[in-house]
Amino acid sequence: MDKANVPGITFTDDKTANVVLWAPYADKAELVLKNGQTFQLASQPKGYWTLRTEELKAGDLYKFRLNGDKELPDPASRSQPDGVHGYSEIVKLEDERVNQPDIPLSDYIIYELHTGTFTTNGDFAGIETQLQYLKELGINAIEIMPVAQFPGQRNWGYDGAFPFAVQNSYGGPHGLKHLVDACHSNGLAVILDVVYNHLGPEGNYFNEFGPYFTDKYQTPWGKAINFDDAGCDEVRNYFVQNVLMWFRDFKIDALRMDAVHAIKDFSPKHILQEIREQVDELMAETGNKHYLIIEFDLNDNRYINPVEQNGFGMDAQWIDEFHHALRVTAGGERNGYYSEFEGIRHLAKSYTDAYVYDGIYSEGRQKTFGTKTNNPGEQFVVFSQNHDHVGNRMLGERSSTLFSTDMQKLMAAAVMVSPYLPMLFMGEEYGEQNPFLYFVSHGDKELIEAVRTGRKNEFKAFHAEGEAPDPQSPDTFERSKLNWDSAEQSKHQEMLDYYKRLIQLRKSTPALHNNNRQQLEVSFNEEQKTLHLHRWEKDQHVHCFMNFSGQQHAFQLPSGLKLIFTSTGTSEASKLQPASITIYSN
């Protein structure tokens, strides 16, 4: 691997450290160890400063001194043991030679978790203690919310200020590497959530080094990252190298890229396409498989179409519209971003068309929105809840406190029988009662107040009444942790057993496992709130009858079918129980 354009400090062999800093704003750059030892960096074209030396070793703490004055952490630091304002740490990861599990994306059953709240420990080692539980549940891929270094010890992760550094309070880079190896040893893939649309405000020293941001565009977080303005080549390289680091050095199986619709790039080659091409080169070099999944709400399949078809080549995307339609169908509120969804008609459309708004008029946007897509089902990730749609509620309520047990089971099944990749949010499988709230631990008082004010304003669209929990309070964070003791209670064990059966049904039933959007038919009764999903694979036909109403309804059962699953535990031929799913096969 050519280390010439890899930012930060890497090792070319056991002894030789390669230092690369992009600081075009500087006239002089030095590396200063915490013990005072200083190294002069050599000026290179395009604003780079470099050094090759055998005097630096793993564990050394350092900063960069610009123009003989200001000392700053490395923007490509691999570790910030003392937080976002402290010294950077030189890191050398050992390769444990654990093979990545050969799990194709089409087989992924995903479990999203937040490291700080998944266990009492709140770190990577805590996650490792639950790997056997996750295997027994039936999932085969965990998705870890962002781990890039953020201020303090409590944060969702979307305020990261050091994209290359792994959060110190979680266990740092060595802790993450150990977790990934442990997952692979247990046959689990690892998806890491990364943020390339903005950088957190606290500990963000990027403007001191170079034009990482541009005035050309604004995002919800301020100035856009500079992907297409003057100086953008090296900014693009910074993020491309970040992607390659996760795959090459940590053996991460897939990345979930946050809100890529907020990436502003009008270059002839979009940054996502450049990432795709660089990842393809890495895979050809290593023989390992890696996937790129995006969070994306523009309903434009150009992002997930292959590069050969003038797309950006992303492997898959989240589709919130399935979630919104499902929640409204289940009786959830129709306000905020739910207001445009009409329940069962839109749920049926999402089953067949993936995008609900696929070139039709959107009242909320006041324009025709979206494109039609015939992309295969494994390019879409669906869910009945996730960190956003739980945590962005004012009180962070989970489905377990908003819907009946029967309706929760139906919603879970509606996800699992879809022709898309299913995702669970931590704790939903046993009906966790604790909320998942929004929390931070900033050190800047003005920023803390700005966050509090922003949260209050955010809930106006949902007509929420009362006070939002204080994001800065440690109690808000503690309340968001999973209560594993409650999972032992009988009602939670019943839900957990249900999820295990449901996941096994998807895995063992070819017609439900195939992700084939073409071998699917949907009919529905809007008045009765019932839906009939028919899927098939070769000679196997599966019929899923869903009742989202509070009344029993009769249905026409095709001849020659036998019952293979029911959410209620009881079944009466040709009758659908309230809030239930009944599945038949030939």
User: Which CATH number is 578's domain given?
Assistant: 2.60.40.1180
CA angle 396–144–172, rounded 5-degree value: 115
> What pLDDT does residue 313 have?
98
Judge whether 578 lies within some domain.
yes
Shared-domain flag, residues 407 and 537: no
Shared-domain flag, residues 214 and 235: yes
115: pLDDT confidence band, cut at 50, 70 and 90? very high
Q: What are 223's strand-pairing partners?
A: 218
Determine whether the annotation assigns residue 322 to a binding site. yes
Shared-domain flag, residues 40 and 120: no
> What pLDDT does residue 463 have?
57
Shared-domain flag, residues 57 and 167: no
In angstroms, the CA 572 to CA 555 distance is 11
Shared-domain flag, residues 523 and 569: yes
Domain boundary among 89, 120, 135: 89
> What pLDDT does residue 461 have?
60
> What pLDDT does residue 456 have?
78
Q: What is the pLDDT of residues 350-370, one digit of tens each?
A: 999 999 999 999 999 999 999
Shared-domain flag, residues 552 and 414: no
Shared-domain flag, residues 403 and 301: yes
Shared-domain flag, residues 454 and 488: yes
Which secondary-structure segment (H or E) carries 356? none
Closest of 571, 430, 546 to residue 494, by C-alpha: 430
Measured CA distances, 394 to 116, 214, 288, 556 (Å): 20, 33, 42, 42
Q: Quickly list DSSP for 43-72.
A: E-GGGEEEEEESS--TT-EEEEEETTTEEE
In angstroms, the CA 484 to CA 122 distance is 13
In angstroms, the CA 116 to CA 478 distance is 9
Q: What is the pLDDT of residues 258-276, one digit of tens each?
A: 999 999 999 999 999 999 9
CA atoms within 13 A on the CB side of 484: 11
Shared-domain flag, residues 298 and 420: yes
Q: What is the pLDDT of residues 450-486, one digit of tens each?
A: 888 888 777 766 556 678 899 999 999 999 999 999 9
Mean pLDDT of the chain: 95
Q: Which residues are catalytic?
A: 258, 295
Q: Give the tokens for residue 466.
A: 């009362």
Judge whether 136 lies within some domain.
yes
> What pLDDT does residue 455 have?
81
Determine whether the annotation assigns residue 257 to a binding site. yes
Task: Inform me whether the pLDDT recorded for 497 exceeds 90.
Answer: yes
The residue-averaged pLDDT of 492-496 equals: 97
- State how many domains the chain has: 3
5: pLDDT confidence band, cut at 50, 70 and 90? confident
- Between 457 and 208, name the one with better pLDDT: 208
Neighbours of 559 (CB within 10 A): 5
Using an 8 Å Cβ cutoff, are 159 and 193 in contact?
A: no
Determine whether the annotation assigns residue 36 to a binding site. no
Q: What is the pLDDT of residues 234-253, one digit of tens each?
A: 999 999 999 999 999 999 99
Determine whether the annotation assigns residue 348 to a binding site. no
> What pLDDT does residue 98 have?
85
Task: Inform me whether the pLDDT recorded for 48 exceeds 80.
Answer: yes
Determine whether the annotation assigns residue 390 to a binding site. yes
What 3-state DSSP class applies to 34? Answer: coil
> What pLDDT does residue 464 have?
63
CA angle 383–243–30, rounded 5-degree value: 140
> What pLDDT does residue 14 have?
86
Judge whether 97 lies within some domain.
no
Judge whether 483 lies within some domain.
yes
Judge whether 98 lies within some domain.
no
Determine whether the annotation assigns residue 414 to a binding site. no
Domain boundary among 467, 487, 507: 507
Domain that holds residue 543: 516-585
The residue type found at 158 is: Y
Determine whether the annotation assigns residue 320 to a binding site. yes
CA 157 remoteness from chain centre: 11
> What pLDDT does residue 294 have?
98
Q: Give the tokens for residue 507.
A: 């895995």
Determine whether the annotation assigns residue 387 to a binding site. yes
Judge whether 140 lies within some domain.
yes
The residue type found at 525 is: N
Q: Exposure string (b/e) for 432-450, b if CB count within 10 Å is 16 or more?
A: bebbbbbbbbbeeeebbee
CATH of the domain at 46: 2.60.40.10
Determine whether the annotation assigns residue 305 to a binding site. no
Q: What is the pLDDT of residues 523-552, one digit of tens each?
A: 999 999 999 999 999 999 999 999 999 999
Which secondary-structure segment (H or E) carries 185? helix 172-185
150: pLDDT confidence band, cut at 50, 70 and 90? very high
In angstroms, the CA 447 to CA 24 distance is 29
Determine whether the annotation assigns residue 389 to a binding site. yes
2: pLDDT confidence band, cut at 50, 70 and 90? low
Shared-domain flag, residues 38 and 169: no
Q: What is the pLDDT of residues 297-321, one digit of tens each?
A: 999 999 999 999 999 999 999 999 9
In angstroms, the CA 421 to CA 130 distance is 22
Give the 3-state secondary structure percentages of the chain, helix then strand then coil, rounded to 5.
Answer: 30, 25, 45
In angstroms, the CA 113 to CA 127 distance is 9
In angstroms, the CA 64 to CA 75 distance is 9
Determine whether the annotation assigns residue 19 to a binding site. no
> What pLDDT does residue 467 have?
82
Using an 8 Å Cβ cutoff, are 339 and 346 in contact?
A: no
Determine whether the annotation assigns residue 321 to a binding site. yes
Determine whether the annotation assigns residue 259 to a binding site. yes
Q: Quickly list DSSP for 244-313.
A: HHHHHHS---EEEETTGGG----SSS-HHHHHHHHHHHHHHHH----EEEE---S--GGGTS-GGGTS--
Closest of 63, 72, 85, 297 to residue 200, by C-alpha: 85
Judge whether 103 lies within some domain.
no
Q: Give the tokens for residue 551.
A: 């009344």
Shared-domain flag, residues 76 and 120: no
Determine whether the annotation assigns residue 324 to a binding site. yes
Shared-domain flag, residues 319 and 392: yes
Residues above pLDDT 70, as percent of the chain:
98
> What pLDDT does residue 114 have?
98
Task: Inform me whether the pLDDT recorded for 97 exceeds 80.
Answer: no
> What pLDDT does residue 458 have?
74
Judge whether 456 lies within some domain.
yes
In angstroms, the CA 438 to CA 476 distance is 8
Q: How many residues does the chain have?
A: 586
Domain boundary among 89, 121, 143: 89
User: Tokens 């869903």 belong to which residue?
Assistant: 546
> What pLDDT does residue 3 have?
63
CATH of the domain at 396: 3.20.20.80
Q: What pairing do the DSSP bridges indicate for beta strands 110-113 and 421-425? A: parallel
